[in-house]
Amino acid sequence: MTLHKLIEICNPLHVTNKNIDAKLTTFAIDSREVQNGSVFIAIRGTQVDGHMFLEDAINRGARVIICEESYYTDEDVCVIEVENTQKLAGPIAQAFEDNPGKQLKVIGITGTNGKTTTATLVYQVLNACGKKASLLGTVSKRILDEEFDSSLTTSDPIELARDMKKMVDAGSDFLVMEVSSHALHQHRTSGFDFKVGAFTNLSHDHLDYHETLEEYAKAKKLLFDNLPESSVAVVNIDDQYGQQMTEDCKAQQLHLSFNNDTAYILENSAQGITVIVDGEKIESPLVGKFNAYNIGLTYLICKALGLEPKEIIKAFQNAKGAKGRMEPVTVEVADLPLVIVDYAHTPDALQNVLSTLSAVKDASQKLTVVFGAGGDRDTSKRPEMAKVSEEFADKIIVTSDNPRTENPDLIITDILDGFESLDSVKSITNRREAIERAISEASENEIILIAGKGHENYQEVNGKRHHFDDREIAQEFLTKKAGDN
Ligand SMILES: CC(=O)N[C@H]1[C@@H](OP(=O)(O)OP(=O)(O)OC[C@H]2O[C@@H](n3ccc(=O)[nH]c3=O)[C@H](O)[C@@H]2O)O[C@H](CO)[C@@H](O)[C@@H]1O[C@H](C)C(=O)N[C@@H](C)C(=O)N[C@H](CCC(=O)O)C(=O)O
Ligand SMILES: Nc1ncnc2c1ncn2[C@@H]1O[C@H](COP(=O)(O)OP(=O)(O)OP(=O)(O)O)[C@@H](O)[C@H]1O
Ligand SMILES: N[C@H](CCC[C@H](N)C(=O)O)C(=O)O
Ligand SMILES: [Mg+2]
DSSP 369-417: EEE---TTS-STHHHHHHHHHHHH-SEEEE--S--BTS-HHHHHHHHHT
Cα of 106 from ligand 2 centre, angstroms:
21
CB distance 402 to ligand 2 below 6 Å: no
Residue nearest to atom 18 of ligand 1 (CA): 50
Which residue would you say has higher pLDDT here, 184 or 205? 184
Q: How far apart are CA 160 and CA 137, in angstroms?
A: 11
Global confidence as pTM: 0.94
Cα of 176 from ligand 4 centre, angstroms:
12
Q: What is the pLDDT of residues 209-218, one digit of tens each?
A: 988 999 999 9
Burial 46-77 (b: 16+ CB within 10 A, else e): eeeebeebbeebbebebbbbbbbeebeeeeeb
402 belongs to an annotated ligand binding site: yes
Cα of 26 from ligand 2 centre, angstroms:
36
Mean pLDDT, range 357-366, rounded to an integer: 90
Query: Given the CA of residue 236, which atom of ligand 2 is nearest to it?
Result: 1
Using alpha carbons, select from 304, 449, 339, 315 the residue that is nearest to residue 388.
Answer: 449
Q: How far apart are CA 485 and CA 77, in angstroms?
A: 74
Residue nearest to atom 29 of ligand 2 (CA): 343
> Angle, nearest 10°, between helix axes 115-128 and 289-304?
50
Q: How far apart are CA 220 and CA 218, in angstroms?
A: 5
Q: How far apart are CA 448 and CA 445, in angstroms?
A: 10
pLDDT at 191: 98
Domains of the chain: 3-96 (3.40.1390.10), 100-316 (3.40.1190.10), 327-484 (3.90.190.20)
Residue nearest to atom 15 of ligand 2 (CA): 114
Contacts for 47 with CB less than 8 Å, ≥ 6 apart: none
According to DSSP, residue 14 is labeled: E
CB distance 294 to ligand 2 below 6 Å: yes
- Examine the pLDDT at 97 and tell me if it is beyond 80: yes
Say what percent of the chain tops pLDDT 90.
92
Residues with CB under 6 A from ligand 1: 29-32, 43, 45-48, 50, 53, 138, 152-154, 156, 180, 182-183, 186, 188
According to DSSP, residue 468 is labeled: -
Q: What is the pLDDT of residues 294-304, one digit of tens each?
A: 999 999 999 99
Query: Given the CA of residue 293, which atom of ligand 2 is nearest to it?
Result: 1
Q: How far apart are CA 140 and CA 249, in angstroms?
A: 30
- Examine the pLDDT at 332 and tell me if it is beyond 90: no
CB 109 within 8 A of CB 200: yes
pLDDT-derived band at 360, boundaries 50, 70, 90: confident
Round the CA-based radius of gyration of the chain to a whole number and report it.
24
Q: How far apart are CA 161 and CA 319, in angstroms?
A: 28
377 belongs to an annotated ligand binding site: yes
Residues with CB under 6 A from ligand 3: 153, 345, 374, 377, 401-402, 452-453, 456
Q: How far apart are CA 244 and CA 121, in angstroms?
A: 25
* CA contacts within 13 A on the Cβ side of 178: 29
Ligand nearest to the CA of 344: 2
In one-letter notation, the amino acid at residue 4 is H
Q: How far apart are CA 264 and CA 278, in angstroms?
A: 9
Beta pairing, strands 232-236 & 252-256: parallel
Beta pairing, strands 252-256 & 146-149: unpaired
Q: Which of 40, 41, 47 to mutate to test the pocket of ligand 1 (most atoms within 8 A of CB)?
A: 47
Q: What is the pLDDT of residues 148-170, one digit of tens each?
A: 999 999 999 999 999 999 999 99
Query: Given the CA of residue 200, which atom of ligand 2 is nearest to it?
Result: 1
Q: Which of 240, 343, 392, 449 to mutate to test the pocket of ligand 2 (most atoms within 8 A of CB)?
A: 343
Cα of 479 from ligand 3 centre, angstroms:
29
pLDDT-derived band at 230, boundaries 50, 70, 90: very high
236 belongs to an annotated ligand binding site: no
Query: Given the CA of residue 178, which atom of ligand 2 is nearest to it?
Result: 22
Long-range CB contact pairs, 235-238, < 8 A, 24+: 235/198, 235/199, 236/111, 236/199, 236/200, 236/201, 236/293, 236/296, 236/297, 238/293
CB 70 within 8 A of CB 81: yes
Query: Given the CA of residue 40, which atom of ligand 1 is nearest to it?
Result: 27
Q: Which of 109, 110, 116 to mutate to test the pocket of ligand 2 (most atoms within 8 A of CB)?
A: 116
What's the mean per-residue pLDDT of the chain?
96
403 belongs to an annotated ligand binding site: yes
CB 117 within 8 A of CB 294: yes
Q: What is the pLDDT of residues 428-465, one digit of tens each?
A: 999 999 999 999 999 998 999 999 999 999 999 999 99
Q: What is the pLDDT of residues 123-138, one digit of tens each?
A: 999 999 999 999 999 9
* CA contacts within 13 A on the Cβ side of 42: 25
Using alpha carbons, select from 405, 298, 387 the residue that is nearest to residue 347.
Answer: 387
pLDDT at 262: 87
- Examine the pLDDT at 349 and tell me if it is beyond 80: yes
pLDDT-derived band at 55, boundaries 50, 70, 90: very high
Cα of 415 from ligand 4 centre, angstroms:
23
Say what percent of the chain tops pLDDT 70.
100
pLDDT at 485: 72
- Examine the pLDDT at 334 and tell me if it is beyond 80: no
Using alpha carbons, select from 313, 284, 295 the residue that is nearest to residue 256.
Answer: 295
Burial 151-166 (b: 16+ CB within 10 A, else e): ebbbbbbbbbbbbbbb
389 belongs to an annotated ligand binding site: no
CB 448 within 8 A of CB 442: yes
